[in-house]
Amino acid sequence: MDFIEELRWRGMVHDLTPGIEKVLKNPGCSGYIGFDPTADSLHIGSLVQIMTLVHFQRAGHKPIALLGGATGMVGDPSGKSQERNLLDFDTLNKNVEGVRKQLTNFLQFSGSNSAEIVNNYDWLNTISFLDFIRDVGKHITINYMLAKDSVKSRLEHGMSFTEFSYQLVQGYDFYHLNRQKNCVIQMGGSDQWGNIVTGTELIRRKSGKEAYALTTPLIKKTDGGKFGKTEEGNIWLSKDRTSPYKFYQYWLNASDEDVASYLKIFTLFNQKEIAELIRQHEEVPHMRLAQKTLAADVTKRVHGVDELTNVLLASEILFGKATFETLNALSEETFLQVFEGVPQAQISQDLLKKGIPIIDLLVSESRFLTSNGEARREIKANAITINKTRIDEQFVLTAKHLLNERYVLIGKGKKNNFIAVFN
RNA sequence: GGGGAGAUACUCAAGCGGCCAACGAGGACAGACUGUAAAUCUGUUGGUUCAUACCUUCGCAGGUUCGAAUCCUGCUCUCCCCA
């Protein structure tokens, strides 16, 4: 499998430096992608870069994931319109470890082209400022640096020397990896182009060697929204930040327009398989085959097969035609696993003796809805379900409605679910 | 420093003494139709109660008035023009 060809048909190539194809023809090259430790988890935007490394490795090359333990202390100005606050050392360390742990799930760390994870803090922290400006700064002109988009766009509103220096620091990483590990290619998102070619330039000037750059396009949604974002925020890879259920649902809700390109980027199905899948999907679009395949594949890769099983069951129950009987048939353990990630509230079981009027249940007891008025409106609009059954304002909850003698599933509309736990 | 304009609910934006919980648009939520899609149509969008009753809200603090988001005074902030 040819790496560049593979990325090409997947729509994962935005730009590349000439000559790269020839170099990568022979397996065993080293290439790297940097990951910023801005949080203790990556989000699904980074998944593009992860997949790029996965393809790189599958093509027989050696992928290196670089953790920006040092560059994270400087702050990459690319794509940012404002100067950011610096992260403190402890936070950064915690983030580096979190991201490192995640990355290990995706790559192979054995074999002749085993993956490697490095932290640029390990080599940058020992370099003195004087050494750096003499050994590195001397090779790159200010004019060259100023021409970069990441700098140009900031000239009017200001930019600290710290962020201005960023491209040199990242460039040095590339140089370092080139020298130490014979790393000849750096990849990244399209916003990284400027930083990457500063690196290739530095390598050329300092060692007279050729190094290469490849960037992936920014992922867009056809409706104009930002990929990987919802009302509640980013979709993260960490289950503590985004529950596997929400994660699965995000992919499942991909639009017909986007799903083909997502399949190409985020799954390892080959060209023929994806074409066939899309063909089937278009025949029976309401089955949502493409979305289901996408969501299952990505969820499995990120969260593992056990989580996927739970999430599939949860989705089927919440969106399928579940009844009180089917819900009640779940064992308590399954029930809890399945609905992990669905918001919950604890309510005292004593209240059930008298019965809980629906309005109280929705508002004061569970805080599912914020005001009685809202609760009345939603009930009038026919939006509220208890254990998948529509109810009216007269409804009073009693012990006979409990699932597994403890739980009640409350729904608002099609997509909002809530679980009341009675203790 | 001089002159002018403005601050209204999630956002934009009307209102300029009572009919204002406040037009309209967007967004959001829900219902119908569907495929947990898109488009479309409908409803809702401060709170309590459901009843054109009450409470809280129109930058902040006071004041005038039977009554103010609307008038007056002071304060804070934003924008524009001239130096």
- Please check whether strand B approaches the CB of A389 to within 7 Å: no
Question: Do A133 and A24 have their domain in common?
Answer: yes
pLDDT of A229 > 80? The answer is no
A273: three-class secondary structure by DSSP: helix
Is the pLDDT reported for residue A188 higher than 90?
yes
pLDDT at A85 over 80: no
Same domain assignment for residues A207 and A235: no
How many domains does chain A fold into?
A: 3
Q: Domain for residue A334, yes or no?
A: yes
Q: What is the CATH number of the domain that holds A252?
A: 1.10.240.10
Tell me the Cα Rg of chain A: 26
pLDDT: is A292 or A80 the higher one?
Answer: A292
**For chain B, which bases have at least one atom within 7 A of a protein Cβ?**
28-32, 34-38, 43-50
Separation in Å: B12 C1' and A299 CA: 39
Residue A21 beta carbon within 7 A of nucleic strand B: no
Examine the fold and report which residue of A298, A319, A340 is the final residue of a domain before the chain moves on: A319
- Mean pLDDT score of chain A: 89
Q: Note whether A154 and A102 are same-domain residues.
A: yes
Distance A371 CA to B48 C1' (A): 10
Examine residue A223 and state whether it is found in any structural domain, yes or no.
no
Provide the residue range defining the domain that includes A155: 3-216
Q: Which band of pLDDT confidence, cut at 50, 70 and 90, is reported for residue A168?
A: very high
Residues A183 and A142 occupy one common structural domain: yes
What is the rounded CA–CA span in Å between residue A222 and residue A26? 37
Query: ipTM surpassing 0.85, yes or no?
Result: no
Sheet of A389-390, strands arranged across: A344-347, A416-422, A407-412, A384-386, A389-390
Residues A311 and A391 in one domain: no
The pLDDT value recorded for residue A81 is 65
The three-state secondary structure class of A297 is: helix
Whether residue A114 is found in the same domain as residue A143 = yes
Same structural domain, A72 and A167: yes
Q: What is the pLDDT of residues A111-167, one digit of tens each?
A: 899 999 999 999 999 999 999 999 999 999 999 999 998 888 777 667 888 889 999
Both A95 and A196 in one domain: the answer is: yes
Report residue A248's pLDDT band, with 50, 70 and 90 as the boundaries. very high
Same-domain check for residues A54 and A129: yes
The CATH number given to whatever domain includes residue A411 is 3.10.290.10
* pLDDT category of residue A274 using cuts at 50, 70 and 90: very high
On whether the CB atoms of residues A300 and A308 are closer than 8 A, the answer is: yes
A350 and A271 co-located in one domain: no
Indicate if A85 and A128 belong to the same structural domain: yes
Helix, strand, or coil (residue A327): helix
Say yes or no to pLDDT of A231 above 70.
Answer: no
pLDDT at A336: 84
Residue A225 CB closer than 7 angstroms to strand B?
no
Closest C1' nucleotide to A371's CA: B47
Model confidence band, residue A82 (pLDDT cutoffs 50, 70, 90): low
Task: Determine the distance between A158 (CA) and B79 (C1') in angstroms.
Answer: 22
Question: Residue A158: what pLDDT?
Answer: 75
Residue A316: pLDDT band (50, 70, 90) is confident
CATH of the domain at A109: 3.40.50.620
What local confidence, expressed as pLDDT, does residue A149 receive? 86
Tens of pLDDT, residues A321-360: 777 888 888 888 888 887 877 888 899 998 888 889 999 9
CB-strand contact A370/B, under 7 Å: yes
Q: How far, in Å, is the CA of A415 from the C1' of nucleotide B28?
A: 14
Yes or no: say if A215 and A188 are a contact pair by the CB < 8 Å rule: yes
A49 in a domain, yes or no? yes
- The answer to whether the C-beta of A319 is closer than 7 A to strand B is yes
Report yes or no: A373 and A413 within 8 Å, Cβ to Cβ: no
Contact, A360 CB vs strand B, < 7 Å: no
Helices (H), A320-409: 324-329, 332-338, 351-354, 358-360, 372-380
Shared domain for A311 and A331, answered yes or no, is: no
Confidence (pLDDT) at A314: 85
Task: Give the alpha-carbon dihedral of A242, A248, A254, A258, to 10 degrees.
Answer: 90
